[in-house]
Structure 1
């Protein structure tokens, strides 16, 4: 069936939450996608930083298939070895003396779990950042700054105060003995790939300690190698009390996690939260397969490729490019005009999947398995794509 026919069927049955799909893809292989008409695309978006190992990764495919053939689901009244092993491995990444894990199905759900944990401190105030994005569920939305996401669904859960991202003095001024948590992203992906300023995470840790609040770091998009580290905030030498993960953890299989350490480690007690599917054996098997691949050299290779991609795009010295920002394999190409959506559409026509989180920013988040050889064709084409909008 053709792409046009499938798009028409989509429009007839799907809620209009996303608009008409730009393409209908039928398969993926490594760093490439193939649409219903057989056209091939280089994937530089990874399903919004999800497909860290690309498409149809043999290790993940094998782990999921074997686990589903052995034990697919038992609910959280029971446990599986896969779940326990994944929790042990994630706990070891935090740098904390002791960490406990709550598994979810998505990043928004991981943030919902963390939000509920903050209420168990006996305080209700959360300080979040301007420009933040933490998900679309009601609790996660209350923590998300962008007005167009929030306003149609207000009133939202209260107690959230927003301060400018990276402004230590504003954070210090708003933090007090009523503050349950300070919530920060290491890189604000949906705000146009904006990294936290040097030292800001350390300042946030110091301020949280001073007022007795939890430091909560949302690593849903930035964690597990996307920014060149297992957890991006560990680059700054910071240990967080709450860390939320998802996206790359399952390489396309829905799985997320809320990690609690320090004063947060024992807050959640039986009956206070739950999930039917979170951390089921198949999801955990996918997560373990991803960690296996990252440990086998993918993470080291991704650091080098991310550095190459940033330098290669900057070296174009194109008059429409202001600068390139980001970390690792999460980069924002900042333009001097609000033409990023048009360039993303033109790139798709040319066989490259990118996106525009802001009118003047192109986001690049290719699979971590990508090599400079994989990505060089896009860099060569980018100049011509930009030329049409100078």
Structure 2
């Protein structure tokens, strides 16, 4: 079985990396961090002009109609670049529409996503709740009431995919944010701005069923696993580069055994996470029965990799790594944000165990 990406996916990844290397990175992240802007509008235009927002949108709705592979490689490149744009939030909303949207909903929203005019976000969090918990947000008569916070990229978005209590568990709804109240909220990640979404009898459209919600978060977990892998890889490259340049006690610190071991551990965790993520990408693209446990394994391993790489990057930089002027903070902050973006590691580890137990019972 070949788990490598297709030639088209690799070509798209290389094109995205060239653009993001030129226009994104820590310097762009710092500019947005130090400003009141919700996102980098100039970079967003570059993303749209390159056709990245249209990648997963079907041709019938003005897109390119690429496969889930392209979602995965793009997520890794945006994670690597720290790009201060709402691309990944919009990508998750696109996947929700592709999975659970009716033909009418897809025709209504996907063309705007493809041409960059519609920015979307995914609003599930209600403080420290779990993705498995029944949301306190309620739906009645096609209207939602509740509060979602923190919501990544809410300040930039015009459309939200929102979770609310359904008959069989959490379910997805579509909300036009012109009808809702959105206020900024401070989080550890100062680059991807967050907001509090307040719904008070806000008109909303149901998006699929509770079963579709469960399928969606598996797909979202795979995409976010690749984002985490991109961030972890960039943090590791920063740490290794510093170890090759920094001189202490007459030699570069990369020659010391303790530093070598830390760098090797980062690489091992990253490659383990990549193996799980590739398996998840295959299961996603094939809509395979293995998707549930493959997604949970990818999410768990990727969080381990990004947390370790971000923390060790700070440690290997020594005292400078803890300063405001150091770029180490961006990877550390993003690692912490990713750890809470779709439920904790504990939630996904438990989901993995339960999925494996179910598989083993079925095979017995």
**TM-score where L is the length of structure 2:** 0.26
Higher relative contact order (CA 8 A, sep 6+): 1
Instruction: Name the structure with the higher strand share.
Output: 1
**TM-score where L is the length of structure 1:** 0.24
Instruction: Name the structure with the higher helix share.
Output: 2
